[in-house]
Structure 1
Amino acid sequence: MIKYFWKQRAFWDDVEQEIKINKPKKIIISSAYLSLKGVDYLKRLFEMSNLKKEDITVYCSTDLHDSKPADILQELNSFSSIRLVVQPFLHSKIYEFHLNDKVILYNGSANLTDGGISRNLECMSKSVVENSPVSDFWEHLSDISVEVTKEVIALYQTYQRTFPPRVIKKDEALQSYLEKIKQNQQKKKSYPDLTAFYFDVEDYITVSKEWYKVASSEAKKRRKGIQDKLLALHKEIEPKVKNWDLHPHYHSDYITSGINPSDFNHGRVGAIWVRYGKHKDELNPYGGVVKKNRRGNKDPIEQFHKHACLQVSFSTIGIDLGLFHSTAHNGIDRYHVREHWNEIKKGIDLNYQSLIGNSFVWHFYDAKTDKSKYHFEIDKGTVEEFLKFYLKYDEDGLESFCMRHYPLNDERIRTKNNIVEEALKTFKALMPIYQVMTFRIPVSMR
């Protein structure tokens, strides 16, 4: 049986009566417009029913109020979940209350405003059913809407301060911003739950294809957050690896790799890392004036990143720990291995067993296409097979490195301490090979 309400406040009086008697488990509302007074009405229901914030969901249009949208969103967000439907314009008015054994549905013309509830001549119907008759509609709204977060409220606060009433709803830039936020939120759904992980979903999105070429202040701020987390790891790692005669970049500004797109990273920041390798005195072993080419760049031997390093690398698919052996061009230790191959392959043969059981993969990687061109899984091959692989595929134009990969939700990288522990364990396993395949100058001769 369907019941109708058209007298002022009759529909809401019925709602409050149902709340008092039945104490709903969940409330879902769709309203084109909201007002602070309407939010107060809903807050009273929230207090009467002893619900939690996640038990109340409100869908509304992006044009929810002419002059005070931020105030409304902030107040509503204090006790409920809010979602803004970006496109098309949301015009429905539905109030659904889930009880223990039934669902009460109110549907009609009344918005969650003082006018809709107590002043206007509205018409609302009431149905009592076993299950929600509009569950598909709620699912659809969830798919096309933006969750109201602090970021969304801040956006509306900016518009509320800047624009006069009625201009907000016509502003295309606001709609564009909200659409981008929606896309970002939808992307986050494809990631696993990283609650309590050191690196969160926003960090991984920041180095994804969606962001890695962006040079805006927002992109730089996001990358700076990742950089700060890597520097916090570095603070724990550096004292330990110094005992192995491993050192970070000699200049404090370059402890991590760059966080802005440039020619050096092919115009994208798809990963950010910190490396440990040779002491600065090994980069200029003969002293004297640093040689520079016509463009003002240092000779390759002077450049820290041209030398082999042990590395902690953060990318959009997780963390990689291991040995970065050579840049695509002018890799100092690549030339060292080539020039002393017969001697070095004996050292690899003697120390290869230390790599087994660590899931190491040696890659020859094309940075231009962002793809591993050739790779060798250490655990699945013999030392003879690896030596043939290395000799066949090592070539200028490809980066060379040996890494173990940790997926972004791997429990071994949940906390900062976990990551530090895994990094040190990985570096220890790689040290014999690192020493074999790099040119080092003894401390006494530096």
Structure 2
Amino acid sequence: MFIDDDYTIPSAEELDSFYFTHQDYETLLESNAPLVTQELRTKRNAIRNKLLDIHDKLEPYAKDLGLHSHWDDNHKISQIEPSQFNYGRVNWMAVRFGKHRSQLDGLLPERAYGEKELYKFPKHGCIQLSVTQNGLSIGLFHAVRYDSWDRAYVASKLEKTPNFIRTITRHLKDIKGYGYMWFIHDPTTNRGFSFSIDDESLDDFLDFYRNDADGYESFLTTTYKHNHEKIETLDDIVNLIRFHMGLLLPLYKEMVQVPNQ
């Protein structure tokens, strides 16, 4: 997830009534991201537990929309220890809703023997809530750096169906006014490309999207600052994410390949 190294977190007193506290955001500072200590492990686990509570309240609504969390309870929240999967840095933690396990199995061709890594949950697009030092972000996570299923899916659709980009931009138009940015981002260098849904012409989106390629993460996201009134309580956060899930669902259905269960 894109991180602003210089972002200022409000004081502990200012966030005293908020679900995510000054300590939670401080735990995810870039300076803490690569560290492995018992103190940080405890603090990261506290954030994980808060995200699990959000997950549990969201899951019934997500299922009604055809969105599913990871089938393994250990993976319903992103990893809380630095590892090769998060590039050795815990500077964000997330809840994801995407394809059901049976939907992933439905995409698995016989030729994929020995290639099942391509069909794991993280290789596929999802709607994601994440906590970073910048605040609370909600969006469509489109593609991981390598072997992203849905990046290839959209590239194929764009090539074979010329009008497909019109469908995408129509759905992007429907989310204008909510601060969404699309990032095509290399997390190892913190460099890449960005596109403001609110401020740039959607006629230019295809040219921007063509930058999306192996080696980049690709995601659409909007961020609420730490002390925004809409993320003060657990119920506030759940209601906000439900709203954005509904807002993003049409785009998800176009840019994520979901076979029938």
Tell whether 2:179 aligns with 1:362: no
Tell whether 2:194 aligns with 1:375: yes
**Structure 1 pair 204/352, CA: closer, same or farther in 2 (3 Å)?**
closer
Deviations 1:18-48, CA, capped at 9 Å, x for gaps = xxxxxxxxxxxxxxxxxxxxxxxxxxxxxxx
CA distance in 1, matches of 2:112, 2:71: 15
**Structure 1 pair 245/219, CA: closer, same or farther in 2 (3 Å)?**
same
Q: Secondary structure at the match of 1:355?
A: coil
CA distance in 1, matches of 2:30, 2:170: 41
Higher relative contact order (CA 8 A, sep 6+): 2
TM superposition score normalised by structure 2: 0.90
Matched residue type, 1:403: T
- CA RMSD of superposed structures (Å): 2.0
CA distance in 2, matches of 1:246, 1:339: 23
2:149 aligned residue: 332
Q: In structure 1, which of residues 415, 419, 443 is the aligned counterpart of residue 237 of structure 2?
A: 419
Matched residue type, 2:103: E
- Indicate the percent of aligned positions where both proteins have the same amino acid: 32
TM-superposed CA distance for 1:190, in Å, is 6.0
Tell whether 2:162 aligns with 1:346: no
CA distance in 2, matches of 1:189, 1:421: 23
2:124 aligned residue: 307
Matched residue type, 2:170: L
Q: 4+ residue runs of structure 1 moved beyond 4 angstroms? A: 187-192, 286-290
CA distance in 1, matches of 2:217, 2:175: 20
Q: Secondary structure at the match of 1:356?
A: coil
The unaligned stretches of length 5 or more in structure 1 are 1-186
Q: Secondary structure at the match of 1:323?
A: strand
CA distance in 1, matches of 2:98, 2:216: 20
Any conservation in 1 of the 2:18–2:233 contact (CA below 8 Å)?
A: yes
2:55 aligned residue: 234
TM-superposed CA distance for 1:344, in Å, is 2.7
CA distance in 1, matches of 2:101, 2:232: 33
2:220 aligned residue: 402
Matched residue type, 2:105: N
Tell whether 2:212 aligns with 1:431: no
Q: Secondary structure at the match of 1:379?
A: coil
Deviations 1:384-408, CA, capped at 9 Å, x for gaps = 11122112x1121110000011111
Alignment of 1:253-292 (within 5 A): 253-285=74-106, 286=108, 291-292=113-114
CA distance in 1, matches of 2:74, 2:240: 25
CA distance in 1, matches of 2:191, 2:246: 25
Matched residue type, 2:58: I
1:246 aligned residue: 67
Matched residue type, 1:300: L
Report the count of equivalent residues. 250
